[in-house]
Amino acid sequence: MKKFFWLYPGIRIKRWIILIFFGALIFGFGFYLIFIRGFFLLGIGFIVLAGITVIYGVYFLLKYFIRVVAPYENRKSVEVAFKDYYLKKKTRIVAIGGGTGLSSLLNGIKEYTGNVSAVVTVMDDGGSSGRLRREFNILPPGDIRNCLVALAKKQPLMQRLFQYRFKEKGDSASIKDENLTGHTFGNLFITAMTNITGSFQQGVSEASKVLAIAGKVIPSTLENAVLCVELQDGNIVEGETNISKSSTPIKNVFLKPSDIQPNPESIEEISRAEVIILGPGSLYTSIIPNLLIRGIKEEINKSSALKIYVCNIMTQPGETDGYSASKHLNEVERYLGSNVDYIIVNVESIPEPLLERYRQQNAFSVVVDEENLLRTNVKIVKAELVSKSDYARHNPVKLAQTIMNLIGNKK
């Protein structure tokens, strides 16, 4: 009987089905009058009446389904469905990186295409992600969580829930590792789904469904690896957190172990991409780690996609002290093993009070050394990209518009 559920009494759907059926009968009778009896005008009248009857029935039938199936969308269901369908037909973009930089990019780009895949680094070993990585032997979920939230189509409350961070209660200075303090709900959710499904990738997939994300979020590898750097003085530093604390310039970046295999899905998405975007994000701890995974840079180099590097707005203490835009670009291309097509740089001035706050942390605006950039084979795209907030970061809307204008001009 379940197959006839929609015909149960009280469902209020039979009336519109009967009306449509009745309209079809009138339509047939109109053709009968015209072609069998020869009453042309009378037949046309019946056909018009049939058309009105069918349209009326279909309209109220669709209205009923929209109201019942998606009550929380408040008449926006058709608009949302059309937008999803439309965006899935747009440019296929792969964005590679991690941290807040990548999530800012995704937050803006999702308004232009539903075919965006984020290939995200999983080398974090600090904060909530580091604790969960050590305690549950899983990949760090923090950067993944930020990207999921950035691509989310669900209501803001769900996004706030995933970003909610448990805070300390009371005045106790001693926090035990098993305490919830410092963890975000999204990290815990991904950890729980990983344990339930037995797979980090499946855990991320389930979180994607909860947030109904526009696109995909893909760990660049499914293997645990430690990010390491060789400093200019010859010392080796292991772990992303320790790298950020170092004050000695970085000479080389590598993974331990060195033969880390890529997530097959990341390779597949890169191979299908029409546009590949590197950055924005921490140069040595968000972007380059992905290029160290065997097969990823090779797939990027093999691709005919348009390749864009989004340069950071500010230098990062311990990583890119004194780095200009050309130095950022040179390092990306050194580890990529080839040139990108475009570099996007910010030329918007940053308010002095904000700059002063960054200077106190030994961070400065990235100098756009156009003369050095012009010596490369990379085309320069200059734009005003600063977010109007308490941080000198990329504005998601401005950055997405700049990228989509660039893509549009190349088509």
pLDDT at position 321, please?
Answer: 93
- What is the three-class DSSP state of 76? coil
pLDDT at position 72, please?
Answer: 44
Quote the mean pLDDT of the chain: 87
pLDDT at position 404, please?
Answer: 92
Do the beta carbons of residue 177 and residue 163 sit within 8 Å? no
pLDDT 10s digits, 370-404: 999 999 989 999 999 999 888 999 999 999 999 99
pTM over 0.85: no
Euclidean distance between CA atoms 281 and 393, whole angstroms: 10
pLDDT at position 335, please?
Answer: 97
Q: Which of 349, 308, 297, 267 shows the shortest CA–CA distance to 91?
A: 308
Blockwise average pLDDT, block size 10, the chain, 411 residues: 52 76 88 85 87 84 63 46 55 93 94 92 91 92 94 79 79 52 92 94 92 92 96 94 88 95 97 96 96 97 97 94 97 96 96 94 95 94 92 94 88 60
- CATH 3.40.50.10680 is right for the domain spanning 82-121+220-410: yes
pLDDT at position 88, please?
Answer: 57
pLDDT at position 174, please?
Answer: 41
For residues 204-240, one letter each, b for 16 or more C-beta atoms within 10 angstroms of the residue's C-beta and e for the rest, the string is: bbbbbebbebbbbbbbbbbbebebbbebeeeeebebb
Domain residue limits, the chain: 13-69, 82-121+220-410
pLDDT at position 175, please?
Answer: 45
Provide the H-helix boundaries in 273-363.
Answer: 288-291, 296-302, 325-336, 352-359
Q: Which of 222, 184, 227, 180 shows the shortest CA–CA distance to 203?
A: 222
- Alpha-carbon torsion, ordered 99, 323, 252, 141, to 10 deg: 0
Q: Which of 154, 146, 147, 148 shows the shortest CA–CA distance to 80?
A: 154
What distances in angstroms separate CA 193 from CA 208, 304, 334, 357, one per listed residue? 11, 36, 37, 40
| One-character DSSP codes across 346-401 | E-----HHHHHHHHTTT--BPP--HHHHHTSSPEEEEE--B-SSSS--B-HHHHHH
Q: Which of 96, 136, 88 shows the shortest CA–CA distance to 113?
A: 88
